[in-house]
Structure 1
């Protein structure tokens, strides 16, 4: 009796595996009721785990950020928004109640002295050192010119709050210089936050005005609300505070991949043990990382009881092309003992790849359409009748 061995992919744990296994059993029973479906659950015994209880993760299990992370979280979020929009703070300040006024004919704008001093910043020798230390010296002059000529900055300089907020202008210049430097860099620059803050302090000291702005509190609160609506990834305060939960959610999937590429023997051995326990002929139906492990096993070891390999949403061809497939260097052919191989993919599944061009004559690619967006497309195969119609025709 033919046995289909269902090998799961990365990050799968119970009870999720059993639910998927039952879905596969129902799908195959509908088209080939005489075929048995056997489990190969390697996630519990060979999958990744926080083996030291999360000791490597700052603040893990406490529900709080690591020491020192909460105190400057708001400032980090604030800079994150300024890097995206260097004029944001100036725009918010100018829009504060009473922030915009009509000038009398011939009257100088409130921020005229601030503007004049800002024009001279690029030539200040004392500022050159901090700018270079922050990595933004090459773009600073252009950044100052861009900010000063923007409509948002002109509105800010015309507002009564301008003289009380020279540090806001300093942050705008600095953020624009960072943005321009990062945009022109071939690789992500290693900007130092302390050096950046030193630049802001030096610019503020060179500008006329009252020093640290009185409006920073309300503006920061408004920016904080905007930050809450943006995805700032692990830089956001909430993500830092929720790092334990994020780690628990993400580490099985990422950890399984890293563990397999570093030490994949245990996962391959779990598949081999399941193959040996199944009644032949065996069809290995393997998803995602399970497809990589199954192919590696069949390359490294001749298993004549395996009559067919079916990979679903697998990255095995991509790893081979990268030269990262553990069992086979790029350019080496599949060994003759590798059984017939069908590779199922969905164009909407961005983790599925093609094998026919990589292994000519040894792999047949079959496209299915789960009608789901990514990432749901990566797990939609098991509910897709197309997959089972394909298996009905191909199973021994």
Structure 2
């Protein structure tokens, strides 16, 4: 909610943004403390009141970089030191340091410790959502065994970009570990990396030591191995943690599709108390609930529905949308519908094909891999520019 308010405030200060939180009273919960999950831990605390559920807030480019770059970031978020190890092994295989020579990474390491003091970089890091974690991330990468090994190799002299990505990925990992799922701006992330490269010694245009060429091939091979590993023993060992992470969202979907009236009633009440004209701005499952509500009830005070990362068109095509069977048109009383999606968000869908003439699909590119792409809309300035122009 605060991200939405901050995004709209400078563009449309006239708009009142009010919450519609339904997760506390109508969201899913493990009523028997996970007794149905094999091996589930017994010491689980009560869910935080601020967690659970995806809300609908009242009132108010397909192309981009190559996919391999986004896939690399997906791996780096899991293992920020992966690229450093690969580049170090490639460089070591080509050339060893001469006896008595000074490691080329010393200048890089010294300059890296001063990065946090650059005001321009700090602004980019804050925009990317990782400003508070960056200094500790730099220290962690530089002092890690993989980081020290990388800085001793001949390839470190041309590896400013590799080191920059490791710093940023480690900061993202720390932020995600601290706050769970968060919205990160991929464009601000890339601009921060570019700024770091300009601040570190070396030729910014030198592509040596980056993830292209043989390193790219090795990363792609590792992708398959990583997927197999995550799908086997590690998942079983971490089933309790994975259940805690997955069940609020997945459970809410299942609960809504079975008994969604309570959620729709909370959205309807938020519309009732809002000052018209009302815009429903809804993310993910919130978009399904909001569309169902508008199909089932005539709410003339709602002038616009904006769904973000929503599965409503997909459910309709499956014949699983609660309010409308496939083949039935949207009722005439449903207001204008703006549907925002990201092709990298595997939980977002387009509606113009299944609801011809009734839905305007708008593509945004967060430049983030899935699943971060499902939340990254809220850190994308393009979303707020779009909303500012569309809100009544």
Give the TM-score taking structure 1 as reference length: 0.51
Map of 1:203 onto structure 2: none
Q: 1:339 to 1:228 in 2, by over 3 A?
A: closer
- Structure 1 SS opposite 2:338: strand
The aligned counterpart of 1:55 is 35
Could you list the per-position Cα deviations for residues 220-273 of structure 1 after superposition, in whole angstroms to 9, with x for gaps in the alignment?
A: xxxxxxx9995253x52x543432222111111111111111111111111111
- Which of 263, 267, 281 aligns to 2:263? It is 267
| Residue 356 (structure 1) aligned with residue 321 (structure 2) | no
Tell me what 1:231 maps to: 229
**Equivalent residue runs for 1:226-375 within 5 Å:** 230-231=228-229, 233=231, 235-236=232-233, 238-375=234-371
Q: Which residue of 1 aligns with 2:114?
A: none
2:65 paired residue number = none
Provide the C-alpha distance between the structure 1 equivalents of 2:248 and 2:315, rounded to a whole number of angstroms: 20
Q: Structure 1, residues 136-173: CA drift from partner, whole Å, max 9, x if none?
A: xxxxxxxxxxxxxxxxxxxxxxxxxxxxxxxxxxxxxx
SS of corresponding position for 1:284: strand
1:121-140 aligned at under 5 Å gives the runs none
Matches of 1:23 and 1:348, distance apart in 2: 21
Q: Does the residue aligned with 2:360 lie in a helix, a strand or coil?
A: strand
User: Which of 7, 14, 17 is equivalent to 1:37?
Assistant: 17
Structure 1 stretches lacking a partner, 5+ long = 1-20, 64-226
TM-score (norm 2): 0.52
Aligned to 2:372: 376
Structure 2 CA distance for aligned equivalents of residues 47 and 271 of structure 1: 13
The higher radius of gyration belongs to 1
Change (3 A) 1:228 1:382: closer
Deviation larger for 243-252 or 34-43: 243-252
Distance (Å, rounded) in 1 between the aligned partners of 2:26 and 2:374: 22
Structure 1 stretches of at least 4 aligned residues deviating more than 6 Å after TM superposition = none
For residues 24 and 302 of structure 1, the distance between their equivalents in structure 2, rounded to whole angstroms, comes to 27
Alignment RMSD, CA only?
1.8
Distance of 1:228 and 1:308 partners within structure 2: 43
1:324 Cα offset (Å)? 0.6
Deviation at 1:351, TM superposition (A): 1.1
Q: Residue 271 and residue 228 in structure 1: after superposition, are their counterparts in 2 closer, same or farther (change >3 A)?
A: closer
Counterpart mapping for 1:165-176 below 5 A: none
Q: C-alpha offsets along residues 85-136 of structure 1, whole Å, 9 cap, x if unaligned?
A: xxxxxxxxxxxxxxxxxxxxxxxxxxxxxxxxxxxxxxxxxxxxxxxxxxxx
Distance 1:31 1:229 in 2: 42
> 1:26 aligned to 2:6?
yes
3-state SS of 2:229 partner: coil
CA 228–271 in structure 1, closer or farther in 2 if over 3 Å, else same: closer
- Secondary structure of the residue aligned to 2:303 is strand
SS at match of 1:37: coil
What SS class does the counterpart of residue 39 from structure 1 fall into? coil
How many pairs does the alignment contain?
Answer: 211
